[in-house]
Amino acid sequence: MSWALIIITLAIGLILVVLEIVALPGGIAGICGAILSAIAVWQTYMSHGTTAGHIVLLASIIIGIALLVFFMKTRTWRHFQLNEEMTSKTNTVDPDSIHVGDTGTTLTRVAPSGNAQFGDQIVEVHTVSEFLDPNVAVQIIDIDGYKITVKAANE
């Protein structure tokens, strides 16, 4: 195997391993990168001898660590990170304001969950067996903790 092909194979392998660690979950890129790096080192031993193989092996380890440190220090991986804050919350049902049998109106499609308004409270609701479109009158059939189950009011 020529030096150019060994260097290209090793570079692609190291980049895939570093990308696996920094940005790509799942293991496929890391496994492919490790295989490509191992092939490059093995081919160096086979084609160019033990000394060249040792040099390429040592260089690949040093370059791999250097790439990993570079990506971590420059915070490159932060561009791939989800930075949004979760602002949603579970239903905080006031037991004095919402009761079984109350009627309200769906605000979103309830398939099988969505939002509905009962009086001045907007809560997450669930249906048992049907999907409901927005602006449909609904009736509460069960309240189990924070889960409110509804059905269409005309049933």
- Express each pLDDT in 72-107 by its tens digit: 787 766 666 667 777 766 666 766 788 888 999 999
Question: What residue ranges do the domains of the chain occupy?
Answer: 3-80, 103-152
pLDDT top residue among 67 and 89? 67
For residue 69, the surrounding DSSP H or E stretch is helix 50-73
Distance between CA atoms of 128 and 69, rounded to whole angstroms? 53
For residue 123, the surrounding DSSP H or E stretch is strand 121-127
CATH of domain 103-152: 2.40.50.140
Instruction: Report the pLDDT averaged over residues 64-79.
Output: 76
**Token pair recorded at residue 152:** 């269409």
Q: What is the dihedral of CA 37, 38, 43, 48, to 10 degrees?
A: 80
Looking only at the bridges linking them, the beta strands covering 121-127 and 147-152 are: parallel
pTM: 0.49
Distance between CA atoms of 130 and 120, rounded to whole angstroms? 25
What is the per-residue pLDDT for 20? 84
Residues comprising the chain, all counted: 155
**Token pair recorded at residue 11:** 């570079």
Distance between CA atoms of 34 and 89, rounded to whole angstroms? 43
What is the per-residue pLDDT for 18? 81
SS3 58: helix
What is the per-residue pLDDT for 147? 86
